[in-house]
Chain A
Amino acid sequence: MFYFENILKVLVIIVPLLVSVALFTVAERKILSSIQRRRGPNVIGIFGLLQAFADGLKLLVKETILPSSANKALFILAPLVTFFLSLIGWAVIPVNEASVFSDLNVGILYLFAISSLGVYGIIISGWASNSKYAFLGALRSAAQMVSYEISIGFIIINVILCSGSLNLSAVVLSQKSIWFCIPLLPMFILFFVSCLAETNRHPFDLPEAEAELVSGYNVEYSAIGFALFFLGEYGNIILISSITVLLFIGGWLFPFFSTLSGSLCFSIKTFFFIALFIWVRAAFPRYRYDQLMRLGWKVFLPFSISWVIFTASILSCFNWYILCFWIFLILYLLVLICFLLVSLGFY
């Protein structure tokens, strides 16, 4: 009985997740096409909504090609690793008060561990393919994810300092008075940009730089292996959007509209971030690799570390509300001074 209940719970999480991944790909294609003044998929289903399912079916019935010089076992293992790692992160995501599969006390650490493991799927696929393009793509991807994970870690420490807990539900509940994105605004922006790099999305999609690397680490994959990579990648984007919502935008909480269903709030906020991912993809050109590394190590990392010290020192002196006030004041002063300097030409 216990097992049956748990399996049901897992299905309740995974089935809507996979459907939303499918709809996400359609939404991405529709939004991108609208921004580029095209039509996008519009033949299969109304507004092309069933396009993703048709693509999935196509990938399912296609032939799986194993390269003759590939390491077969690892080659098959890699997409499975990527796919399942993008699914198991959802175990600790609370979509509403008390509606979470496992209310882990170290939820944030768990998520961080899962996203670090995500590099393995890519490394394994790049190495097992025995192809230069795949290998280069995998190396780039791994280096990128590792370097941005460090600054993500420091950014999350800010949130942990403010909330005082590693439990995601507790983090959300501590945002009842004010969402963390307001007092920690710079960290919030840094977190979002790091998430773009972490999920290998535009403008940091160097592993898949089509012009240079064909398609990156998944170049040798066909049929269901490719589909699993694809699902894993997009599942990761949804996961990281929901993490952003939980850590900075107050999860299921919504001020002034307390009657609104919590999980609906959570979905709307998550959808906003997913749309932002697509929007960024349409708006910006790709970074060069050394620029990406410079941004990660020379800008994001020092900035997030110094902000941890800043937050910690303020928290040790004042209580939470005064922290908001102080950070606000300093931020606005900084912005004002910067603006004055820039406009006066003392850049």
Chain B
Amino acid sequence: MAIKDEDIIQLATTPMNRLEQSYLPEVFKGFGTTLRHFFTSFGQGRTSQTIQYPEQRREDYHPLEGGMEKSNFRGVHRLNRDEDGRVKCVACMMCPTICPANCIHITAEESPWDDREKYPKKFEIDELRCIFCGMCEEACPVDAIELTTEYDIVGLSRQEMVFDKNKLLNVYDVTIDKKPM
């Protein structure tokens, strides 16, 4: 749809008057503005919008105050378990197909259980390659892969940041109380 002529707003910069063209009063205005900010924010955390990360966390604040919106936050992945504690994934290969970063690697195998045909023998997510777009979560037909609200994951090596099936199931065990399925 083309933009209509009446929707276009012409913004003209206001011409400077003689005093402003000399820049001299503006220099002192600049000094004044910075000084005001200095005195209203020096030493008092209340006026500052900074969240002191390790001590204060975004989870503790309301989203309107710069906090975290937990319902749709996209953090580290987890692999959900079903009622019997088995991995819920059916190794349908939807998530590695949709993944734009190609960070999910699944080796499927015939399922030992009767209610499904396949299950993932190996399920690896390279968290360093992942761009946390949430497409895997959208693609999953059985809600087996989900993104949690955990965002501060660390590792001492690159290998450590490739999460395997056990680790992803552990993430489920840790975060199930915080974020129910």
- Would you give the 0/1 interface string for B44-71, flagging 1 where the beta carbon is closer than 8 Å to chain A? 0101111010000000000000000000
B18 touching A35, Cβ below 8 Å = no
B34 touching A37, Cβ below 8 Å = no
Q: Which of A34, A343, A347 contacts B21 (CB 8 A)?
A: A347
A39 within 8 A of B: yes
Q: In the docked arrangement, what's the CA distance between A343 and B19, Å? A: 7
B4 within 8 A of A: no
B42 within 8 A of A: yes
Q: Which of A35, A342, A345 contacts B38 (CB 8 A)?
A: A35
B49 touching A37, Cβ below 8 Å = yes
B38 touching A34, Cβ below 8 Å = yes
A282 touching B47, Cβ below 8 Å = no
Q: In the complex, which residue of chain B has the Cβ closest to the Cβ of A280?
A: B31
A283 touching B34, Cβ below 8 Å = yes
> Which of A37, A39, A279 has the largest count of B CB atoms less than 10 A from its CB?
A37
Q: In the docked arrangement, what's the CA distance between A347 and B35, Å? A: 30
B31 touching A283, Cβ below 8 Å = yes
A283: chain B residues at CB < 8 Å are 27, 30-31, 33-34
- Would you give the 0/1 interface string for B129-150, flagging 1 where the beta carbon is closer than 8 Å to chain A? 0000000000000000000000
Interchain nearest-CB distance for A278 vs B (Å): 10
B49: chain A residues at CB < 8 Å are 37
Q: List A22-58 residues whose CB lies under 8 Å from chain B.
A: 31, 34-39
A284 within 8 A of B: yes
B34: chain A residues at CB < 8 Å are 35, 279, 282-283
Interface size class of A (residues with CB under 8 A): 10 to 19
Given contacts A343-B18, A347-B18, contact A39 B31 (CB under 8 A): no
A39: chain B residues at CB < 8 Å are 45, 48, 50, 52
Interchain nearest-CB distance for A329 vs B (Å): 21
Q: In the docked arrangement, what's the CA distance between A284 and B48, Å? A: 22
A342 touching B22, Cβ below 8 Å = yes
Q: In the complex, which residue of chain A has the Cβ closest to the Cβ of B45?
A: A39
Q: In the docked arrangement, what's the CA distance between A36 and B19, Å? A: 27
B37 within 8 A of A: yes
Q: In the complex, which residue of chain B has the Cβ closest to the Cβ of A339?
A: B19
B111 within 8 A of A: no
Interchain nearest-CB distance for A285 vs B (Å): 9
B35 touching A279, Cβ below 8 Å = yes
Q: In the docked arrangement, what's the CA distance between A284 and B26, Å? A: 10
> Which of B31, B33, B38, B42 has the largest count of A CB atoms less than 10 A from its CB?
B38
Given contacts A37-B48, A38-B48, 14 further A-B contacts (CB under 8 A): A34-B37, A34-B43, A35-B34, A36-B37, A37-B49, A39-B48, A279-B34, A282-B34, A283-B30, A283-B31, A342-B18, A342-B22, A343-B19, A347-B22
Q: Give the A-binding residues of B (Cβ under 8 A).
A: 18-19, 21-22, 27, 30-31, 33-35, 37-38, 41-43, 45, 47-50, 52
Give the 5 A-B CB pairs with smallest separation, nearest first: A34-B42, A283-B30, A283-B34, A37-B41, A347-B18
